[in-house]
Amino acid sequence: MHSLPAMYRTVMKDRAVYFRDAKEDITADNIRMLFFASMLTMALLLLFILLAPVVIHGWTPTVYHLAFIPASALLCLSTGLQLRFKTSNHLAVNLQCILYQSTVFFFTILIDTAGTANGPAAFVPLLFIALPALFILPHRLSYGVVVLFEVLYVAAILTFKDPSLGQYDIFISLVGLSVSLTMNNLIMSLRVKDHQMQMKYKYLSTMDSLSEILNKQACLQACSDYLAAFDPHAICSLLVIDLDDFKTVNDTKGHYTGDVVLQIIGSILRQVFRRSDVIGRFGGDEFLVLLKGTASRPLLERKCQLIQSTLRSRTLQQVQTQVSCSIGVALLQSQSATFDQLFRQADLALYTAKKSGKGKTVILRHEPSAAEENAPA
């Protein structure tokens, strides 16, 4: 059974990963919720001011109610501008959420204390429960604001209210704060678990389950995105790797042995190349690697030799059959090229390697075709 400190560390680690990996989605959700909450606050305030005299005989709005109206309008305006111009600055949106919470707490505390000195608080305890749950913020920000305004609320009660009445307001606010902590932690846990499930499904949709590298679609997309992002000055190397006589391995040793060979080559590629490189399974026994930011022939020769020697050694050890591979490489050095153009060059290099024998590597520098050179800029 895990100890409580260990469980707490796990929860905090999961939340840190969530806030890091889902930052863009969190920012988008917060700005949408902020706009909705600002509009709703303005509408409820106006509705309250209009209906209260009808329900409560002799009631009139205080200066705090009236001051809250322009403050709410400014919140709506600033949030609407952020939404209109699609603000994606994570820090700016977080600060706007804190500003919204602070404004609502500030005026509501004044209304429930100085504005209602002879009556019980009606709104602040509810806000302690509701406001922290509106936005996806780190606890140190969200509850830093809540605790600060709890202290200010208690101070305002002691200043403006009779102790016999104020003690109940303080007690109810503390109950509301406790409920808020419990509810917010539950909501955050559900958000983290939902994010983890989404990441799991995303991982499964992009990975080849057998070799544990990217599947064809995800690999091609990642390669195309990299080339487009750095066009026309991309520097990279595209490797096309083909297992020699793989069909013979399946026919003579069985498909289980073939699967083990695919797992071995996937493991080797993950070890030889960086996590930032694109590594994928292109077809049955064909693999692609896009080595980002590198077009060094000596480096590629060493890596290809390592792949081939390790593959022969590990297959002989694990499946008692020595399997080799042929590799074609296209080097792109500060040039403009689409993935299809670069792939054709690497595929040509692979074809040349296969013709020269098994376990060979051919490296070509990408050369644009005449049609590519004459294409309009």
CATH number at residue 363: 3.30.70.270
Query: Has residue 251 been placed in a domain?
Result: yes
Q: Is residue 221 part of a domain?
A: yes
> Is there a domain that residue 31 lies in?
yes
Are residues 166 and 220 part of one domain?
no
In a shared domain, residues 46 and 122: yes
pLDDT at 6: 82
Q: What is the DSSP string of 302-368?
A: HHHHHHHHHHHHHHHHHHSS---EEEEEEEEEEE---HHHHHHHHHHHHHHHHHH-TT-EEEEE---
Residue 93, domain member (yes or no): yes
Residues 146 and 223 in one domain: no
Residue 376 located in a structural domain:
no
Answer for the pair 329, 343: CB distance below 8 angstroms, yes or no.
Answer: no
Task: Tell me whether strands 361-365 and 325-335 are parallel, antiparallel or unpaired.
Answer: parallel
Record the pTM: 0.65
Say if residue 197 is in the same domain as residue 243: no
Total domains in the chain come to: 2
Instruction: State which of 186, 204, 222 marks the end of a domain.
Output: 204
In a domain, 377, yes or no: no
Q: Could you read off the pLDDT tens digit of each residue along the chain, which spans 377 residues?
A: 457 788 888 888 888 888 888 888 899 899 889 989 999 999 999 999 999 889 888 888 999 999 999 999 998 888 888 777 776 788 888 999 999 999 999 999 999 999 888 888 889 988 988 888 899 998 888 888 999 999 999 999 999 999 888 999 999 999 998 998 888 888 889 899 988 888 787 777 788 888 889 999 999 999 999 999 888 888 999 999 999 999 999 999 999 999 999 999 999 999 999 989 999 999 889 999 999 999 899 999 999 999 999 999 999 999 999 999 999 999 999 888 999 999 999 999 999 999 988 899 999 998 876 444 444 43
Contacts of 169 (CB under 8 A, 6+ apart): 112, 120, 121, 124, 125, 157, 161
Q: How far apart are CA 280 and CA 277, in angstroms?
A: 10
Asked if residue 172 and residue 225 are part of one domain, the reply reads: no
Domain boundary among 147, 172, 204: 204
81 in a domain, yes or no? Answer: yes
One domain, residues 179 and 233: no
Cβ atoms of 120 and 165 within 8 Å: the answer is: yes
- Alpha carbon 59 to its chain's center: 50
224 and 170 share a domain? no
Question: 200 with 235, same domain?
Answer: no
Last residue in a domain, options 166, 183, 204? 204
Both 218 and 197 in one domain: the answer is: no
> Residue 140: what pLDDT?
85
Residue for token pair 């603000």: 87
Are 194 and 239 in a shared domain? Answer: no
Residue 343 domain flag: yes
Identify whether 53 is preceded by a cis peptide bond (ω within 30 of 0): no
Query: Is 172 in the same domain as 270?
Result: no
Q: Which domain holds residue 340?
A: 213-368
Report how far residue 47's alpha carbon sits from residue 99's, in angstroms, rounded to the nearest whole number. Answer: 23
Of the chain, the end-to-end C-alpha distance in Å amounts to 65
pLDDT score at 87: 66
State residue 370's pLDDT score.
44
Both 179 and 297 in one domain: the answer is: no
pLDDT attached to residue 142? 84
Of the candidates 343, 326, 205, 213, the one whose C-alpha atom is nearest the C-alpha of residue 272 is 213
DSSP state of 231: T
